[in-house]
Amino acid sequence: MKFSSVHKLTCYLMVLVTVAPIALSGDLSVPALVLFLAAAAASWLVEPAPERRRTTLLWTAATVLFTLLLIVDGFRGGPIISDLVYFLLALVVNRLYSRRTSKEYLHLYVLSFLLLVIGTTVSTGLSFVVFFLLYIVLLVWSLIFHHLRREMEENYLLRHADATQSERVEVGRVLSSRRIVGPPFLAGTALASLGVFFAAAVVFFLFPRLGFGLSFGQARTRTVMAGFADTVRLGQHGRIKNNPDVVMRVPLATAPASPLRWRGAAFASYVRDEWSQRYYGSNRPWDTFGPPPRGDGAGRFTYDVFLEPLDSAVIFAADRPVGFELYPSRFGGVPPLLYLYPDDVVRTRDLRTATFQYRATSDLAPPPIALLASAGDAPPRGFERYLAVPTDLPPAVAELARTITRGLSGPYAKTRAVRDHLARSYRYTLELSHDESLDPVYEFLFVRRAGHCEYFASALAILLRTVGVPTRVVNGFYGGVWNDVGKFLAVRQGDAHSWAEVYFDGAGWVAFDATPPAGQIVVVKTSWAQMALDTARLAWTRWVIEYDLAKQVDIVKRAARWLGGKPLPPGVEGAREAAKRLLRPLAIGVAALVLMGLGLALARTARVRVSARAPARARPRDAVTRLYRAMLAALARGGFRKADSQTPGEFARALRAQAHPAAELALRVTRVYYDARFGGVAPEESAMRSLAQDVRRLA
């Protein structure tokens, strides 16, 4: 492949690799992306002519006009990052259509680097790793090609005997050469990119981003979640049951023995088809910012949560959370970021634009059945809102509740009766249609007799309220996917679930789930490849996207613990085991490649040594080379020295042009030299003896 073509291809690929992360992040509109790709593709087919003043002025005017439009858009409230990307893309197109010399290519390298910097701020997915590695390889190639091209354009002179007559070599002929760049050259220079990558990794480790959320543009697209706003309509969870996107990851030592309920939002007020929570009064900060309580019960356990960016400020924890902890080293003197709202809902003050890491403690031990059964029927004072039902609720709903609980006393017996009736008599389904003229709970109980978790939870809560049992509805997640590679539980959007909580005097709020087993998601295992990929995503988020000064200190501490043989936290221990599994075959492959390279090197050395012992007559090329050098030495003593920039043919023709007496001998020796050195044609012994005599005579 021609040198110029390889140079152009690497430059175009480098530009595309830096644009790709921005395009995948969604910050680049589809029309703008299509227009840019079309312009770049068309520029590939256009070879710029020598610089013309009129063309340069047109490109400059177009770029200035586009820049002014972007400035106006910025003053009108347009996104600054998007405008900056469009500006850089316009400059890239300008340079692609005017790439005449190495200077324009250097401009493209700078523009692509700026696009890569923007890509690091808007793209946080694992795919960015691939683009970054490709960029490093392409950058190394491009810089090498740029250096070679600049040397060709600026320093490659054909020097004659008279230095004043030196002139530039035709650069186009050199750029069209197919012998400068080949597969071995590309493979060898690609290895240099490994050093660049490791150097970048060291710089990244030594100079982390400062603090939480202070990096430029550090914002991630928040996942839109239904069911966790202040107001929720029935039917929202059913539409996301098949969504595999991960919401949070929880490192654990082993897979949970039974599915966990991850409590999120709670709702007390129901009107028609809508549950709502009015966050009235003052919402006090959660006052447990030291280590959560430990060892205060057999059912308590502490765990870390890596919560993905959501459009909700709700914080999730396993059922019956009793403590939360934010890392003091990360937040320092910043006021608490967690706030306790009514109905035991924990929220942050603002929506999260980055992965939110916290530690929680939950009490999973269920209250004793004897304690629940001993609770009385009389609800506590001030619990009227947990007993309220819509004024237009059809009477048949209350009649059904009285029928189910007839002859029973106490909230526990009534709750079990209603829960078992719903789970036994109604069917779970995601395929529903709603009659707007009917109350959704009434329609579920008497018309459809089928629904998803929200309908079962709402029906359980409303039926119990009509017989005097305080209830509320909770939205959260149930179960998750156990990742055996990274040793963590991945909770997905499809694990969204609803259940009811019932109040018992002396025990507090207790979860009850009326959804049939068909609608309760359980912990499942996925393929090894999927688990490895999700483990890589967690590591990327944890140690790259969210890497800061606190993480740097944490790495050093854990490395010291690892070297000291002390046990590590479950998530880190799982990552270490996953690294061992992944690195073992990689190490074997690298060792095999090293051994293969050593074997080839030894074989080549042995071949050279064998050839060195061969008789001179078996190596005609060496004999011809010695003859040619002897001729050059004889001519040099006579004042005719071959310049380093001259080829043997050019030197022989220069002797003929100057009518040198040895010109014909030089041409004959040069032909034999070319044939033996580059054509592998051995001269006849008689011809070699004749030429050798002539060269000695010349000397």
Give 455-502 pLDDT, tens digit per residue.
999 999 999 999 999 999 999 899 888 888 888 888 888 888 889 999
Q: For the residues 419-423, what does the mean pLDDT come to?
A: 93
pLDDT band of residue 168 (cuts 50, 70, 90) is very low
Inform me whether the pLDDT recorded for 618 exceeds 50: no
Report if pTM > 0.75. no
Reported as a single tens digit per residue, the pLDDT across 519-546 is: 555 445 566 677 777 777 777 666 665 5
The letter for the amino acid at 369 is I
Q: For the residues 26-35, what does the mean pLDDT come to?
A: 82
Q: What is the pLDDT of residue 128?
A: 75
Overall size of the chain counted in residues: 699
Q: What is the pLDDT of residue 179?
A: 62
Burial class from Cβ neighbours inside 10 Å (0-12, 13-18, 19+) for residue 406 reads exposed
Residue, of 156 and 290, whose pLDDT is higher: 156
Reported as a single tens digit per residue, the pLDDT across 278-325 is: 655 445 565 544 444 444 455 778 898 888 877 778 889 998 888 887
Element of type H or E holding 593: helix 570-613
Asked if 325 contacts 290 with a C-beta cutoff of 8 angstroms, the reply is yes
pLDDT band of residue 623 (cuts 50, 70, 90) is confident
**Cα 222 → chain centroid:** 15
Asked if 695 contacts 687 with a C-beta cutoff of 8 angstroms, the reply is no
Q: What is the pLDDT of residue 209?
A: 47
Asked if 631 contacts 640 with a C-beta cutoff of 8 angstroms, the reply is no
Q: What is the pLDDT of residue 676?
A: 84
Q: What residue spans of 49-123 are helical by DSSP H?
A: 53-75, 80-96, 102-122
Angstrom distance (rounded) from CA 29 to CA 383: 52
Checking 95-101 for CB contacts under 8 A at 24+ apart, the result is: 96/12, 96/15, 96/39, 96/40, 96/43, 97/43, 97/46, 97/48, 97/59, 98/48, 98/51, 98/55, 98/56, 98/59, 99/8, 99/11, 99/48, 100/48, 100/50, 100/51, 101/149, 101/153
Q: What is the pLDDT of residue 174?
A: 58
Least confident of 218-227, 362-371, 617-626: 218-227
Residue, of 73 and 85, whose pLDDT is higher: 85
Question: Percent of the chain scored above 70 by pLDDT?
Answer: 67
pLDDT band of residue 412 (cuts 50, 70, 90) is very high
Q: For the residues 348-374, what does the mean pLDDT come to?
A: 79
Q: What is the pLDDT of residue 510?
A: 92
Mean pLDDT, the chain, whole residue set = 75
Q: For the residues 103-111, what does the mean pLDDT come to?
A: 87
Residue, of 120 and 255, whose pLDDT is higher: 255
Residue 366, sorted as left (phi over 0), alpha (psi -120 to 50) or beta, turns out to be beta
Angstrom distance (rounded) from CA 105 to CA 653: 37
Residue, of 510 and 687, whose pLDDT is higher: 510
Q: What is the pLDDT of residue 462?
A: 94
